[in-house]
Structure 1
Amino acid sequence: MQDQPDVVVLRLGHRPGRDERMTTHVGLTARALGADRLVLEEAAAGRKETVTDITDRFGGPFEVEVTDRPLSRVRSWEGSIAHLTMYGQPIQDVEAEVRAAHREEPLLVVVGAEKVPFEIYERADFNVGVTNQPHSEIAALAVFLDRLFEGRELERDWQDAEKRVVPQETGKRVIDTDDE
């Protein structure tokens, strides 16, 4: 998020035909809740277009990359790594430590799609459980980012937006920013 070291979300794994919507929503959640970049595996390359289109229309900055070597990204990461897993330490027990680390260096947030290699658990500085019950990786990412940024992501300024949602008590209103 603006004026802080980067937060990069790595979507590790993607089952074509099964994870299309989930992977897209991981990207949209990462963008909307303060991450700076999303890294997708080659199998999920088609999701890049959707997330980039939303960024183009509703503003950024936010980048999407595709890699054919996601584990290399983890191995070469220079910064802290948080792996979201229901088997991890409760977020409420580690969130202050994660925030302190992020103030000093970039943060890679690993969000798995299928069985995550044990290497991720070993390389992660933080194995974080939003809850120790089965749940959605999208929910875990949303709660994690909100805790990381302490709600500041909800006040974020969006640059170069073509469209803007106008909050209303009822109904829906989206305006072209050229009309403002």
Structure 2
Amino acid sequence: MVIEVVRIGQRLVRDDRVTTHVALVSRAFGAETIFMTEVNPEIKDTLGKINETWGGNFTVEFIENWKPIIKKKKEDGFKIVHLSMYGEKINDIQDKIRGRENLLIVVGAEKVPREIYELADYNVGIGSQPHSEISALAILLDRIQEGQQFEKEFLGAKRKIIPTKTGKNVQVKETRD
């Protein structure tokens, strides 16, 4: 299963950090790519540095318009999952989404165009109270992968966190120039 994310929109200044965190959660929870509209280009540099230090090959692609990428992914057989507070309950729909199908997850910043609701194969709500798109994405990715994304090794990592009951333990790999 391939998982990709598209971030639509950004409330200027306020959302640089939120959009960066949407990308970080996407990467850490098993997505391969994030497509972004209206973003600060420094976000791509930040994620590149994360990949370099912590491993992996997560990609950030800037797009001018969300519609062509959603339509192309649908043509390529991806199921489109739109995170929305107004969608079907995650508890009721997670089993339908979980599986072998490739997914493109749509994460909005502000009010998303009505057309996204219509293009989506699944409009999914995480709870019935206002919440962060970051938390909604993390919950969705965890539910559809049943925690297996945390067993994955990030290739090329210079640092790796070693789980420990107390304190911090980070393994740093020696690099030779």
TM over 0.5: yes
- Counting aligned pairs with the same residue, the percent is 44
Matched, 1:56 2:52: yes
Question: Contact between 2:55 and 2:156, CA under 8 Å: does it hold in 1?
Answer: yes
Q: Could you list the structure 1 runs, at least 4 aligned residues long, displaced by more than 3 angstroms after superposition.
A: none
Counterpart residue identity of residue 36, structure 1: E
In the TM superposition, residue 49 of structure 1 has moved relative to its aligned partner by 1.2
Question: Contact between 1:15 and 1:43, CA under 8 Å: does it hold in 2?
Answer: no
Matched, 1:157 2:153: yes
Counterpart residue identity of residue 25, structure 1: H
Other structure's SS at 1:93 match: helix
Aligned to 1:81: 80
In the TM superposition, residue 36 of structure 1 has moved relative to its aligned partner by 1.0
Higher normalized helix content (fraction of residues): 1
TM score, norm. by length of structure 2: 0.91
In the TM superposition, residue 52 of structure 1 has moved relative to its aligned partner by 1.8
1:7-61 Cα offsets, whole Å, 9 max, x none, are 1011111122110110000000011111111111143432111122111110113
Task: Report matched runs for 1:1-180 at 5 Å.
Answer: 4=1, 6-77=2-73, 78=76, 79-100=78-99, 103=100, 105-178=101-174
In the TM superposition, residue 107 of structure 1 has moved relative to its aligned partner by 0.7
Structure 2, unmatched stretches of 5+, are: none
Structure 1, unmatched stretches of 5+, are: none
What is the RMSD computed on CA atoms of the aligned residues? 1.4
Moved more, 41-50 or 153-162: 41-50
Question: Contact between 1:130 and 1:140, CA under 8 Å: does it hold in 2?
Answer: yes
